Structure formats: C-alpha cells, structure tokens
Structure 1
Amino acid sequence: MKKDIDFQKVTGVKIAIAKEETSNGPEWAVYLINLNLIELKTVMITSKGYGELQGESKKTSTLRHMIDELGPQAVAKVEPIDPALFALTNEFWVSYYILDQIFDKKFIFTSGSFDPGFIQLIPEIGLEGVLHS
C-alpha cells in the first residue's frame, strides 16, 4: 500500500507550463525539468484538470505519460495544453526513481497561476510561462 512506501522529499524537479511561438501562433505545453545531477528513471506523470466553469463542474480526462529516463539537468516536453484549461485547476502527479528510491510529488496549478504577473521567463527552457517546484 502507498502508506507503506517511504517516499523521500522531492528536490530539483519542477513542472513548467510555457508558451512557444510557432508559425501557427502561440502553443502552450507542459515540461518536466530535472535540475538534479543524476538521472530520473521510470518517470510517470499523470495529469488532469478540474474545477468550475460558468457555474458547472468540469473535469478533463486523466492523461498518463511515461518517460523511461530523464538525464541529469534535462528537460522533457510532456504534453500540449489548451489555454482554455487555465480556468481550471490543473494537477500533475509525478513519480520517479533515483537509483532504487521512489519519489512522488503532486504539482497543482490553480486558475490564478496564469495571471500575467505570474508569467516569467523560465531559463531552463528559454520560454515564458509558469513554474512550479
């Protein structure tokens, strides 16, 4: 059971939602950033959105992504994200191994996370967006 697993504190791993300018206009995506000096193995990312829009309860599909290995100080593009979902709470649950130890963390972006004052340059990916650590 999950309560029996000794999860260590997550450090050096961040999630960013950032905007890239393309020939088709701005495209937003979710990125996993590993700032550690060691690779992450068997990375599992689960994402979902939920909240209220125009007085109605809304939920997105749950998406799951697997990355076999994310090298030291590396970045992985996880999934595109529609800016219409910024009005919801967006949750990303990340689990991975370093050596034989499992790590687990939930990253939550609320609708207020995308206010213009929170948009910043994210040096690790060279794009503007919102960073959560």
Structure 2
Amino acid sequence: MKKDIEIPEVKDVHVAVVREFNKEFRSDEWNAYIINNRGTSIEMILIVARGFEGKKETSIMRHKLEKLPPHSFAKIEYIQDEVTALNNEFLVTFFADNRMFEKKYFFPKNTISEDKVRFIPVIPKEGVLAE
C-alpha cells in the first residue's frame, strides 16, 4: 500500500542555478546544476523540470544521469532569462545505498537573479540554491 512506502529524507543533494559566461555566444546565461555533496555516489538520477505561474507554463523537461560521484556536480539544463521570472521546480529522484530518494527543489519567481547569488563551494561558482 502507498502508506507503507518509505521514502527517506534527502540530505546533501542540491539544485543550484548558476550565472555563467558562454564563450560561444558571448553572453551570460543561467544554468541549472545538480550537486551531490554526499560521501557516496548517487545513481539513476531522474530530473523533471518545469516553470510555471498561473496559466503560464513552460514545457516539462526530463533529464537522466546514470551516476554522480561524491562531492561533484552535473549540468541539468540552460534556463532562459524569461523563465527566471516564473516559479521553477525540479523534481529529483535517485538511488543511493540501495534506497530510492526523492525531493522537490523550488525556486520562487524572481529568485533566480544577480542580487540573490552566493558562493556555492562544490561547483565553485556563484549561484542561487533551491529551497
């Protein structure tokens, strides 16, 4: 039964959005990253990303990573500037230590902005961490 399924609390796995310079297009852009700050690898990572506010919605984007080693990070997707004005949500599901973990990471509208950035040690760049 559904009530019997235990999904443990996610610790030391984060989603961050980082402002980076794209050399090819010669412009700054926002990129979403998943960060594994655990002492063990995470595997079979599924990420569902979407932006929304009221009747405005982006396409739902799905991403998969096979494995993310301990204390590392991987790029999820590029985020257009127009999408930063929306609520952004990343649903992350993964396996670690023979268990399934799941967590929803949320960026309220307009929180992906230059004035909200802080240093993110694992990446190491400045960005915004999801709630």
| CA-to-aligned-CA distance 1:30-79 (integer Å, 9 cap, x gap) | 00000001000110000001004xxxx21111011010111111101111
Q: Is residue 101 of structure 1 aligned with residue 107 of structure 2?
A: no
- What SS does the aligned partner of 1:113 have? coil
Structure 2 unmatched ranges of 5 or more: none
Which residue in the other structure is 1:84 paired with? 82
Which residue in the other structure is 2:42 paired with? 40
Q: Distance in 2 between matches of 1:4 and 1:112?
A: 38
Q: Is residue 25 of structure 1 aligned with residue 23 of structure 2?
A: no
Which residue in the other structure is 2:16 paired with? 16
TM-score by length of 2: 0.90
Identity fraction in percent: 34
Alpha-carbon shift at residue 115 of structure 1 (Å): 4.5
Which residue in the other structure is 1:6 paired with? 6
Q: Residue 69 and residue 50 in structure 1: after superposition, are their counterparts in 2 closer, same or farther (change >3 A)?
A: same
TM-score by length of 1: 0.89
- What SS does the aligned partner of 1:124 have? coil
Amino acid at match of 1:90: N
The number of equivalent residue pairs is 129
Amino acid at match of 2:48: T
Q: Distance in 1 between matches of 2:67 and 2:116?
A: 30
Structure 1 unmatched ranges of 5 or more: none
Which residue in the other structure is 2:129 paired with? 131
Q: Residue 2 and residue 49 in structure 1: after superposition, are their counterparts in 2 closer, same or farther (change >3 A)?
A: farther
